[in-house]
Structure 1
Amino acid sequence: MQATSITTTSPMPPWYRQVRWWMLSLLFFVTVINFVDRQALAVLGNDITDEYNLSNTAFGTIVSWFRFGMMLGEFPMGMLMDRVGVRIGLAFAVLWWSVGNGMHALSTSIWHFRIFRFWLGTGECGNYSGGNKIVASWFPVRERAFAIGIFNSASMFGSFVAAFLIIPIREHFGWRMGFLVPSVLGMVWVLVWWFVYRQPNEHPSVSQAELAHIRSDGEATEEAAPSNWDLLKLKQTWGLMLCRFWVGPVVEFYLYWMPKYFRDVRGLSIKDSAYFNSVTFLFGDIGSIGGGLAAAWLLSRSWKVKGTRQATLLFGAALCLLSFLVPLTGSIAIAIGLISLILLGHTFLSANMFASVSDVFPNSAVARVTGLTGVANGVSGIMFPLITGIIVDRTGYTPIFFMAALMPLLGVAIALVTLRNYEPARLFNPLERERDNEKR
């Protein structure tokens, strides 16, 4: 691969004046908003099922319509990010999903919820395809897992904040306002994003030293963007798709179903169910940031990318096996502790799963590959809530906890087999065949 480097004698500014961290903070906040909007259904789910007399199976269909929307929107959103850039693409995605979330306040039937969840899903899927592309543009390889861990931790922080934001709104103004108020936050974020975001080489506040740091892995020249068909012919694409197919639904089980589980099985009130569930999300934050820090530390210790990703993915999947124990304990405190460790492991794993995309694919394909993995996650995300609702109505939660224990391990095994040496998947571009793999 031909590469150019930037040399500079200017010193690196202190971290708080390095623009890439401010871009990451914008990405963090929009991901918080994304999951507040998403988690509103879980926080208000008991109110909705009570008011409309819905079974667990019916509630599962509402969740599945959201995943159906994400599945259909993932690849188009990825194409949008790659073609028009993340400044326009992410602004459109956030505005679109914010309106969709606000529309939930007008729902008067289960079909309204299904339609508006579908709408929300078609927009929210753009958060990760855009976010992965932003990290690939602004951070060198050795910092990417940490950067992804930071913005991915916002998913758990947003889920944590959701209960403390939405429950007071619900108590004072009713559950419908619990959907409407968070939507305004997304619209405010779009205005800030539009005026602040630029690419690294176009941003007026980026110093030459920071730009050199961002490009310290080498800046590719004459890089031909792969076609969609090129991407689908690669085993690496399918490996990451199948990994996310099995890994993705597990966290959504804990996001959407735990408030109902705590009320129906553990006997907690609606308010306590939401608050206790929120506590577990703080450990998800620790796992996401920890997964990135662990990867950065191993790479700084001269570990290759292959060994780093193998260790972090397997560690996260191993913690998810604790799901076997949740239905077997009679203690609420122990159950919450186990779920906390499971979410820590899942986000630890996820930070490195998403980082694997930019390990293997060029920046011109990162958003689309992330979108394709999201399509796979969408397929399983449609199936798993439906299966969950049916099984819970018939036999209870225990079989679902057992499934949630094994699915991440299966996904990680597929990824490690198909990615193997984490070699760059650039076979479609003759100019990229010569790549220096010493860092790997």
Structure 2
Amino acid sequence: MNETLTTESLDLQDESHGKPSHIRWNVFTLGCLTSLFLYIHRYAFGILKPDIRDAYGLTSEELGYLEALFSIFYGAVQLPAGILVDIIGAHIFLSVSIAVWSIGLAMHAAAPHMWLLYLGRILLGTGQCAVFAALGWLTKRWYPPHIRTTVQGWIGVFFARFGGAVTNILIATVLIGTIGMGWQLAVLILSGGGIILAIAFFIVVRNTPADHPNVNPAELALIGAGDTPAGEQERVSFKQLLTESSPRARISVLLLALAASFSTVADHIFSGWIPLFLREGHQLDYKEMGIYSSLPLIGGAIGGVIGGFLNDAAVRKISRKWARRIMGAFGKGMAAVVLGVALFFTHEPYLFCILLGVVKIFADISLATRWGALTDIGGRFTATMFSFVNAFAVVIGIVGSIAYGYLVPEKPETAVVQSADSTNSSAQPQAVVQELSQEQKDAIIEENINQWMPVLLIGFGCYILCSSCWLFVDCEQSVSS
């Protein structure tokens, strides 16, 4: 990415300082890679659920609890981790976080040792808990306000969603479907990439431009040192966050937390369950499942970039408050409309996934908006604000994960075996399945697809509620005012 790609406003350069260095774009690149790897590692569990279910002998309910276990630690550590970022900065925090979650991912491949799988989910959730809060903290200091939401759209949304899409294609279509690699080896390779990224982040990135030895005066002047004096380390507490803000700011924070919660519950469908829906509901092989389950995530990546540009453009033309409100409400509102249409095509997997891609384009326009709004409202408490809103959303997301585990139907063959066992207990499960006629199999698959409808309806309702919350957010009220 270069200056002309974002906006001509980067002519802030002070020619008396000479040509600016480009360290900010090195930071941008590492930030994008962090977001990319975070989602590749997080979404690997969703794409590998069929194999993990078989390797560990898990039920749908147990898969739901494993989703919730990640969310519990992801949410429980959010707020203290966000406060820690506001104290020590993002450099060391992110370097350690990337290494921790990469080790956690590797533990997913430890079948049949269940305790290592549980520990892996805990480390993955803990390591990823405040990464976006730290990236938000970093962008606030490395990029001036007039291009910041665009940068955040690339880092926080495009590369995150693109990472999810790459996960599906890389693991399911390429490594397993084409190369024939075992799922456990694929997990270990991805984990190794994360460790390399952690080392690179530690070497290249610093908390602020003023802290970086290779940032010259011209680049420092161009950036304007962000919104925080160079080298300032803010000592914050959650008590300060509550006592130093106006009632209107607190209401906006609560509305953002609610909007994030509804969005999180809906997004769990795309990240954690659509691959299983395609694999077991529609009986797609890994190659097809990897491609089509990636379409919603590709849509999200596109929406994040569009949202970043639209937000910065809207802020320049109308007030910041109404720019955020319109973008947020419009994005999630249109996502609900398109998802409502998609519900009529659940039996057409290819068309259904294409429509889900459109859903996520609109949905993630508002995700870029949330990044901008949190930076606006957070002020000097930016990382703490990100973490508070994310923690609030995760608590609701835990409930959603457990609920989905109970609503998602069991593997179709399992239901057949259980039914057949009542009359023929001596038959082997595989033999029972093979004895079914094609018509019987089609009927079972049809019923399985229909049983997914409650899950999809929850996502539809959550998008409507999220859109409603955005109509009342006032991001011109900062908690640090």
Which TM-score tier does this pair reach, normalised by the shorter chain? 0.7 to 0.9
Given that 2:13 and 2:222 are in contact with CA atoms closer than 8 Å, whether structure 1 keeps it comes out as no
- Residue of structure 2 in register with 1:305 after alignment: 320
- Residue of structure 1 in register with 2:430 after alignment: none
Counterpart secondary structure, 1:422: coil
- Residue of structure 2 in register with 1:424 after alignment: 478
1:295 pairs with 2:324: no
Given that 1:65 and 1:115 are in contact with CA atoms closer than 8 Å, whether structure 2 keeps it comes out as no
Pairwise CA distance, 1:306: 0.8
Q: Letter of the 1:142 partner, please give it.
A: H
Q: Kindly provide the CA deviation profile for residues 132-186 of structure 1, in whole angstroms up to 9, marking residues without a partner as x.
A: 1011111122212111110121111111211333234446442212221111111
Q: Kindly provide the CA deviation profile for residues 194-216 of structure 1, in whole angstroms up to 9, marking residues without a partner as x.
A: 12112111223334343233228
Given that 2:331 and 2:363 are in contact with CA atoms closer than 8 Å, whether structure 1 keeps it comes out as yes
Pairwise CA distance, 1:325: 2.7
Given that 2:14 and 2:222 are in contact with CA atoms closer than 8 Å, whether structure 1 keeps it comes out as no
Task: Measure, in 2, the Cα distance between the counterparts of 1:181 and 1:218.
Answer: 39
- Residue of structure 1 in register with 2:52 after alignment: 48
Which has more radius of gyration?
Answer: 2
Quick check: 23-32 or 391-400, which moved more? Answer: 391-400
Q: Which runs of 5+ in 2 are unaligned?
A: 1-11, 244-249, 411-449
Correspondent of 2:288 among 272, 276, 292: 272
Given that 1:327 and 1:397 are in contact with CA atoms closer than 8 Å, whether structure 2 keeps it comes out as no
Quick check: 264-273 or 32-41, which moved more? Answer: 264-273
- Residue of structure 1 in register with 2:213 after alignment: 204
1:63 pairs with 2:79: no
Q: Letter of the 1:396 partner, please give it.
A: Q
- Residue of structure 1 in register with 2:369 after alignment: 352
Task: Measure, in 2, the Cα distance between the counterparts of 1:49 and 1:98.
Answer: 21
- Residue of structure 2 in register with 1:184 after alignment: 192
How many residue pairs end up in the alignment? 417
Quick check: 136-145 or 109-118, which moved more? Answer: 109-118
Correspondent of 1:252 among 253, 265, 268: 268
Q: Kindly provide the CA deviation profile for residues 225-282 of structure 1, in whole angstroms up to 9, marking residues without a partner as x.
A: 5421132453343232222111122222101101111122223123321221113322
Correspondent of 1:73 among 66, 72, 77: 77
Question: Map of 1:123-272 to 2, 5 A cutoff?
Answer: 123-152=127-156, 153-167=158-172, 168-170=174-176, 172-198=180-206, 199-215=208-224, 225-232=235-242, 234-272=250-288
- Residue of structure 2 in register with 1:436 after alignment: none
Judging changes above 3 Å, is the alpha-carbon distance between structure 1 residues 264 and 164 closer, same or farther for their aligned structure 2 residues?
Answer: closer
Pairwise CA distance, 1:379: 0.7
Task: Measure, in 2, the Cα distance between the counterparts of 1:80 and 1:287.
Answer: 31
Task: Measure, in 1, the Cα distance between the counterparts of 2:90 and 2:297.
Answer: 28
- Residue of structure 2 in register with 1:335 after alignment: 352
Given that 2:55 and 2:112 are in contact with CA atoms closer than 8 Å, whether structure 1 keeps it comes out as no
Judging changes above 3 Å, is the alpha-carbon distance between structure 1 residues 285 and 7 closer, same or farther for their aligned structure 2 residues?
Answer: closer
Quick check: 45-54 or 21-30, which moved more? Answer: 45-54
Counterpart secondary structure, 1:10: helix
Given that 2:328 and 2:470 are in contact with CA atoms closer than 8 Å, whether structure 1 keeps it comes out as no
Judging changes above 3 Å, is the alpha-carbon distance between structure 1 residues 109 and 218 closer, same or farther for their aligned structure 2 residues?
Answer: closer
Question: Map of 1:11-26 to 2, 5 A cutoff?
Answer: 13=19, 17-26=21-30
Q: Which runs of 5+ in 1 are unaligned?
A: 1-5, 428-440
Q: Kindly provide the CA deviation profile for residues 77-136 of structure 1, in whole angstroms up to 9, marking residues without a partner as x.
A: 212211211111111111111111111121325554333212200111232011110111
Judging changes above 3 Å, is the alpha-carbon distance between structure 1 residues 231 and 409 closer, same or farther for their aligned structure 2 residues?
Answer: farther
Q: Letter of the 1:191 partner, please give it.
A: I
Correspondent of 1:10 among 13, 16, 22: 16
Task: Measure, in 2, the Cα distance between the counterparts of 1:12 and 1:335.
Answer: 54
Task: Measure, in 2, the Cα distance between the counterparts of 1:218 and 1:150.
Answer: 20
Pairwise CA distance, 1:338: 1.1
Given that 2:324 and 2:475 are in contact with CA atoms closer than 8 Å, whether structure 1 keeps it comes out as no
Task: Measure, in 1, the Cα distance between the counterparts of 2:130 and 2:382.
Answer: 12
Q: Letter of the 2:221 partner, please give it.
A: A
Pairwise CA distance, 1:421: 5.5
1:392 pairs with 2:392: no
Pairwise CA distance, 1:404: 0.8
Q: Letter of the 2:210 partner, please give it.
A: N
Query: TM-score, length-normalised on structure 1?
Result: 0.87
Query: TM-score, length-normalised on structure 2?
Result: 0.80
Given that 1:288 and 1:351 are in contact with CA atoms closer than 8 Å, whether structure 2 keeps it comes out as yes
Pairwise CA distance, 1:220: 6.1
Judging changes above 3 Å, is the alpha-carbon distance between structure 1 residues 308 and 216 closer, same or farther for their aligned structure 2 residues?
Answer: farther
Task: Measure, in 1, the Cα distance between the counterparts of 2:233 and 2:253.
Answer: 19
- Residue of structure 2 in register with 1:29 after alignment: 33
Correspondent of 1:403 among 453, 458, 470: 458
Task: Measure, in 2, the Cα distance between the counterparts of 1:117 and 1:324.
Answer: 33
Judging changes above 3 Å, is the alpha-carbon distance between structure 1 residues 97 and 277 closer, same or farther for their aligned structure 2 residues?
Answer: same
RMSD, matched Cα: 2.5
Q: Letter of the 1:343 partner, please give it.
A: K
Task: Measure, in 2, the Cα distance between the counterparts of 1:208 and 1:161.
Answer: 38
1:377 pairs with 2:429: no
Task: Measure, in 1, the Cα distance between the counterparts of 2:132 and 2:154.
Answer: 13
Sequence identity percentage? 22
Task: Measure, in 2, the Cα distance between the counterparts of 1:266 and 1:240.
Answer: 36
Q: Letter of the 1:230 partner, please give it.
A: Q
Given that 2:133 and 2:384 are in contact with CA atoms closer than 8 Å, whether structure 1 keeps it comes out as yes
Correspondent of 1:282 among 298, 305, 310: 298
Given that 1:91 and 1:193 are in contact with CA atoms closer than 8 Å, whether structure 2 keeps it comes out as yes
- Residue of structure 1 in register with 2:120 after alignment: 116
Judging changes above 3 Å, is the alpha-carbon distance between structure 1 residues 206 and 26 closer, same or farther for their aligned structure 2 residues?
Answer: same
Task: Measure, in 2, the Cα distance between the counterparts of 1:254 and 1:358.
Answer: 26
Given that 1:46 and 1:270 are in contact with CA atoms closer than 8 Å, whether structure 2 keeps it comes out as no
